[in-house]
Amino acid sequence: MRYLDHNATTPLDARVRDAVIAALADPLLQGNPASVHSTGQRARAVVEQARRAVARALGAEALEVTFTSGGTEADNLALLGAARALRAAGRPAGVLTSPLEHPAVLAAARRLTREGHPLALVAVDAAGRIEADALRAALRENPETGVVSLAAANHVLGNAYDIPSLVRVVRELAPHALFHCDAVQAFGKLPLDFHAWDLDLLSVSSHKIYGPKGAGALVHRRRLALDPLLLGGQQERGRRAGTEPVATIAGFGLAAQLAATELAARHTHVAALADRLRAGLSNMSDVTVHGDRERRVGNTVSAGFHGCDAQLLAMNLDLAGIAVSYGAACSSGTPEPSPVLLALGLAPAAARSALRISFGVGNTEDDVDALLAALPEAIARVRGAEGGGDWREVTP
């Protein structure tokens, strides 16, 4: 199988796998990291070593890293935890985000609206860009904003955003507001720096950087008040109850270290593959590539195949031995078109025609060429089954 769906999850790096297995097999690491005896403290040392590795990779301090079960929990803790704590302190607690965000962010924001927190969305353009002027307008129209949440990279389009410039807008117009950045799709693809970017909250996930599933982190200012989602023990300094999975966190720490040290080489490799795919798609009729052509993470191509249902097209490519996505993995299986593509102004039929192809370090030019070779037959088969369709690009 040619795997071209790395935005959904990445294969486990062999070096990380070995580290996880070694931690699982080590009889000296079987204790609870919260225990005071030597076995527990050895496990604690592994957790703290990983915490330092994640912090270094993100330009943060170790005490600013709270381990979670993944990016979804980190996003949830950032929005729900921060907004609820702000309200409890009598401060503005509205949320400002964009229609392009990951479902983990938007679902948390909608939950807050049911609790009485105002919610506003910043305008985006047809390429999925978020401009500073649009953010300024949204902040002026929503003075009750207490949390701004914008991603460093979009999970569907592959757009990259100038987060530092957007943070400066927030500091200028809403200095009381917290800035949360969902960096799940940016980690390992773009340079990230928590302090240099002047962030308050930052979410990342292990399985997007060739680490094990089941681990993530929320980076936050040390003294920032967060209302915890999970209640129980005092693990993670009271921000996230539950016994830490030592082996999984050890793997996450190594994956973070590798993501930072190998960032440039990885980016060069996957960007060349994405450029090769775009060049090939440009020679095909009735294909539209979505997203920002200038600022992007490098590994992602979102393309609409006019007259095709992308779910059927992905299934046909799967039969040809090629794995791609027709949207975010957390949304696949739903008949609804991608909210991200609808936010660009695409008609529902056009949004349903889009595939997301995302490359990783294990992919080669042969994978790109195999996809380009398989697409014409798969497209013809799907169009023939559907009899064409309305694929107008912009909603009337």
- E strands present in 194-246: 201-205, 216-220
pLDDT bin (cut points 50, 70, 90) of residue 335 is: low
Which pLDDT tens digit goes with each residue over 168-187? 999 999 999 999 999 999 99
311, 91 Cβ separation under 8 angstroms: no
Q: What is the pLDDT of residue 326?
A: 87
Which pLDDT tens digit goes with each residue over 256-312? 999 999 999 999 999 999 999 999 999 999 999 999 999 999 999 999 999 999 999
Q: What is the mean pLDDT of the chain?
A: 94
Q: What is the pLDDT of residue 327?
A: 63
Q: Name the percent of the chain in helix, strand, coil, to the closest 5.
A: 45, 15, 40
pLDDT bin (cut points 50, 70, 90) of residue 384 is: confident
Active site residue 308: no
Q: Which pair of tokens denotes residue 20?
A: 């996880």
Active-site pick, 62, 119, 323, 330:
330
Residue with structure tokens 């910043």?
122
Q: Would you say residue 396 has pLDDT above 70? A: no
pLDDT bin (cut points 50, 70, 90) of residue 393 is: very low
Which pLDDT tens digit goes with each residue over 202-257? 999 999 999 999 999 999 999 999 999 999 999 999 999 999 999 999 999 999 99
Q: For residue 340, give the amino acid letter.
A: V
Q: Which pair of tokens denotes residue 331?
A: 């949304």
Q: What is the pLDDT of residue 183?
A: 98
Residues 6 or more apart from 18 whose CB is under 8 A from it?
Answer: none
Question: Residue range 320-333: average pLDDT?
Answer: 73
Q: What is the pLDDT of residue 388?
A: 45
The pTM of the full predicted model, rounded to 2 decimals, is: 0.94
